[in-house]
Structure 1
Amino acid sequence: MSINGVFRTSVSGMNAQANRLSTVSENIANSSTNGYKRNSTEFASLVLAQGGGEYNPGSVKTQVRQSISQQGSIAATSSGSDLAIQGDGFFVVQDTAGREFYTRAGSFVQRTETIGGKETTFLVNTAGYRLTGSPVGGGAAAPIELPVGAIVAPKATDAGAFTIQFPESAAVGDTKKSSMVVYDSIGKAIEVPVDMEKTAANTWTVSYTDSGGPQTTTIVFDPNTGRPTAAPANMTYTHVNGDTVDIEFGSLTEYATDFSSKLVTNGNPPGSFTGFAFAENGTLSGVMNTGQLIPLYEMSLARFASPDQLQASAGNVYSATASSGVAALGGPGTNGYGSLVSSGLEQSNVDLASELTSMIESQRSYSANSKVFQTGAEILDVLVNLKR
């Protein structure tokens, strides 16, 4: 055996432990970084070919592995723009140059920038990356631009849905009343009374009056199931200007319980946004001063075949690599994508107790390798001094 082999082996051992300490140091430093994923150092032996009666010591090499796919705990916050993902997926973000990255760090805040003489408000995380989404109604994904301070144009009602539970115990001739609100082209709210009357056994009529006069539809229920014997045709509400509202029937029942109804229409009056809110399906809506929600953007999550093979970059973001595979996009909570948690942040998945244990182990191992190097140096001194 060559004494020089002892030096090479012990030095490789010290270098390997230094690499391990580097990952431990980074993990501890980022133990409070939202969405940070722990790194670990794996060791592998490098064995040299043996020959004759001599042993040639090999060395050790290291490989850093990322635990990107490991879920961190989710902590509740008071900000509606703080987002977390429970399960698989990444937020799709862009830098100011338009380059796309992926992250689990969802601490987004509003930031207004002047671009081309126009003030634009983005949702950015702590590293300045902009959250992306697709405009509702169609359009390519791009950084979300919040219409802060903008006047919301009125939208005339063009669709509605009725969900009604009729009481089975009602006598023929009994009536129930409700109402729906429709908006015309300039945003004027019109409250439309809706009357429901039991006209025969298991038979009800639903009626209201529009610009064309009374509108009525009849619903017949099966007494054995409490469900309609046939799906009723949609009703139509006609505005004064001739525009129509398509009214669909949702759940219709005649059970032995109290009357209830839910008459919902779209459309909105003019107004302004007082805030913005995310839904579980990734829809970002503006909250109007009337309390109505106006859908603005639809956010998609990215998913990879091998997320642990993504390339980490500054700002707690990742880039796709040949090993990770290309990004597949989908809505939160669909087709295996994780669910979106609003007013929550994913914490670092670093376990401080484990990191401190690894630090002590690396320190002891580094010290032991240095002792081997020192002993080899002493043996070499003995060889050099033999002639004396």
Structure 2
Amino acid sequence: MSINGVFRTSVSGMNAQANRLSAISDNIGNANTDGYKRSEMEFSSLIFSQSDGQYNSGSVTTQVRQTISQQGSTASTSSATDVAIQGDGFFIVQDGNGRDFYTRAGSFVEKTQNVAGTETTYLVNSAGYRLTGTSLTDGTTGAIELPVGKLIAPSETTSAEFALQLPSSATAVAGAAAPTATSPADSEFTKKTSVVVYNQLGEARTLDVYLTKTADSPTNSTDDWTISVFDQAQSTDGGFPYTALAPETLVEYSLDVPFDPTTGVPTSAIGPQSLTLADGSEIDLDFSSVTQYASDFSAKVTPDGNPAGYISEFQISDEGIVNGVMNTGDTVPLYQINLATFSSPDRLTAGVGNVYSANSNSGAAVTGIPGVNGFGSLQSNAIEQSNVDLATELTDMIESQRSYSANSKVFQTGSEILDVIINLKR
């Protein structure tokens, strides 16, 4: 083996350890960068052909390995526009030129930018990339534009979902009959809740929802409940009876639901229902989430529609819906956030601003809704932290420092041997 081989091998070793130290330096520097994914070096040996009685030293090369698919820990925040991904997927963001990039950093803030002479407010991250989504108004997909300071038009209520948990321990009312619109003021019922709906002009009407248990098991084969709905504006002193003056229509809706006492669910599926309001418009009612378990009463009624008003703040839900919170307290869904996945996410190309771009090795981006068809779920009021472990990085740094010093000693020893060979002539 030529003595020059010692220099070649030791220099390649020092270069490899220097590359590893560079990656470690980046990891430590970004230990507190939201959504940052650590890089590590993989070493590979280059072996030259050997001859009898003589060893030809090779060299070592490094290859960067990104841990993009490795989940970082989640931290709670107080910002309603912070969101973290649990599982597979990336937020799709755009730069000022409309080019798509991908990131796991979910800390977004409202920022007004001047675009073609127009002031537009976007949700942007710390690097200035704009979060994208699909508009729930017109179905277009692009950078999320927040309607700051703009009057939001009213939206008529057309549907309402009733998620009701009725207590199995409740006792049937006397007379085993639910109240009607003409019942007296002291009519008996089991539970009561209410829901606010809106007409085309954004005028609010409150609907009273009465839940009355009319039959008990085992005296009866089923536990029977009646769901009754009336318009509070047509009530007498806030309750029964309910009456309507022309041209309004009397709002009176009733649904009998028998429950299987052994399972706590209706004996048969409740199909689509419809309620006619005082102005003659109709609302589709969904009672598919009604149960009767040995639990406390709970009622979550979710209607669509909203009044006219201005949006005072924004929030992102766990379903990836960007909602505007109006000055009236109502929420207006504005955008659906989409996620992107890749066949080989660890081979994405890293870019400035903690973003990634697709390439032939990573595969093309596949987009979808969070929590559906293998896409990760979202957690609002949270951010994904970097996956850097400082203890591991510092340990690797010490190892690299020792290896670099050892390689330099080999180089120094080779230099001393070369001096001896040169001095043989003297």
Letter in 1 for 2:72: G
- Equivalent of residue 377 in structure 2, options 328, 339, 342: 339
Residue aligning to 2:411: 373
- Verify: 1:186 aligned to 2:208, yes or no: no
Letter in 2 for 1:234: Q
Aligned-partner residue type, residue 184 of structure 1: N
Report what 2:275 is aligned to. 236
Are 2:240 and 1:208 aligned? no
* Contact kept in structure 2, 1:91 and 1:103, CA below 8 Å: yes
> How far does residue 53 in structure 1 lie from its aligned partner after superposition?
2.0
1:168 and 1:255 in contact (8 A); partners too: no
| Amino acid in the other structure paired with 2:274 | M
Change (3 A) 1:323 1:157: same
1:45 aligns to 2:45 (yes or no): yes
Q: Which residue of 2 aligns with 1:55?
A: 55
Does the alignment pair 1:169 with 2:175?
A: no
Write out aligned runs for 1:187-336 (5 A): 187-194=202-209, 202=224, 204=226, 206=228, 208=230, 211-213=248-250, 215-219=252-256, 221=258, 224=261, 228-230=266-268, 231=270, 234-240=273-279, 242-252=280-290, 262-336=300-374
Q: Which residue of 2 aligns with 1:68?
A: 68
What's 2:238 paired with? none
Rounded to whole Å, the distance in 2 between the matches of 1:365 and 1:106 is: 38
Secondary structure in 1 matching 2:202: coil
Contact 2:230 2:252 in 1 (8 A): yes
Shift of 1:43: 1.0
Q: Which moved more, 1:314-323 or 1:77-86?
A: 77-86
Q: CA deviation at 1:83?
A: 1.9
Moved more, 78-87 or 190-199: 190-199
User: Following the alignment from structure 1 to structure 2, what is the Cα–Cα distance between the partners of residues 298 and 80?
Assistant: 15
C-alpha deviation, 1:124, in angstroms:
0.8
How far residue 327 of structure 1 moved from its aligned partner, in angstroms, is 1.4
Matched, 1:385 2:423: yes
Change (3 A) 1:249 1:42: closer
Q: Residues 90 and 193 (structure 1 numbering): CA distance in 2 closer, same or farther, change over 3 Å?
A: closer
- Counterpart AA for 1:366: Y
Deviation at 1:98, TM superposition (A): 0.8
RMSD value, Cα: 2.6
TM-score, normalised to structure 1, is 0.90
What is the match of residue 235 of structure 2? none
AA matched with 1:84: A
Residue 302 of structure 1 and its aligned partner are, at CA, apart by 1.2
Asked if the contact 2:260–2:266 (Cα under 8 Å) also holds between the matched residues in 1, the reply is: no
Deviates more, 1:105-114 or 1:262-271: 262-271
**Which amino acid is the alignment partner of residue 118 of structure 1?**
T
Q: Deviations over 1:307-348 (max 9, x none)?
A: 111110111111112121111222222233222122222222
Match of 1:359, SS state, is: helix
Change (3 A) 1:149 1:100: same
2:117 pairs with 1:102:
no
TM-score, normalised to structure 2, is: 0.83
Q: 1:35 to 1:260 in 2, by over 3 A?
A: closer
Query: CA separation in 1, counterparts of 2:325 and 2:129?
Result: 24
SS in structure 1 opposite 2:396? helix
In structure 2, the CA distance between the partners of 1:18 and 1:150, relative to structure 1 (3 Å rule), is same
Cα deviation for residue 139 of structure 1 reads 2.0
Distance in 2, matches of 1:87 and 1:122, equals: 26
Q: Does the Cα contact within 8 Å between 1:219 and 1:228 map onto a contact in 2? A: no
Aligned residue in 1 for 2:396: 358
Separation of aligned partners in 1, 2:413 and 2:311: 74
SS, match of residue 384 in structure 1: helix
Q: Distance in 2 between matches of 1:219 and 1:107?
A: 48
Tell me, in whole angstroms, the C-alpha distance in 2 between the residues paired with 1:347 and 1:358: 21
- CA shift, 1:163, in A, is 4.9
- Flag the 1:178–1:52 CA change in 2: closer, same or farther, 3 A: closer
Identity of aligned residues (%): 55
The answer as to whether partners of 2:82 and 2:316 remain within 8 angstroms in 1 is no
Q: How many residues align?
A: 387
User: Are the equivalent residues in 1 in contact too, given 2:250–2:278 (CA < 8 A)?
Assistant: no
Mean Cα displacement is larger for which, 118-127 or 321-330?
Answer: 321-330
* Letter of the 2:173 counterpart: A
Q: Which amino acid aligns with 1:206?
A: S
Q: How does 1:67-146 map to 2 (within 5 A)?
A: 67-146=67-146
Q: Which stretch has the larger CA shift, 288-297 or 133-142?
A: 133-142
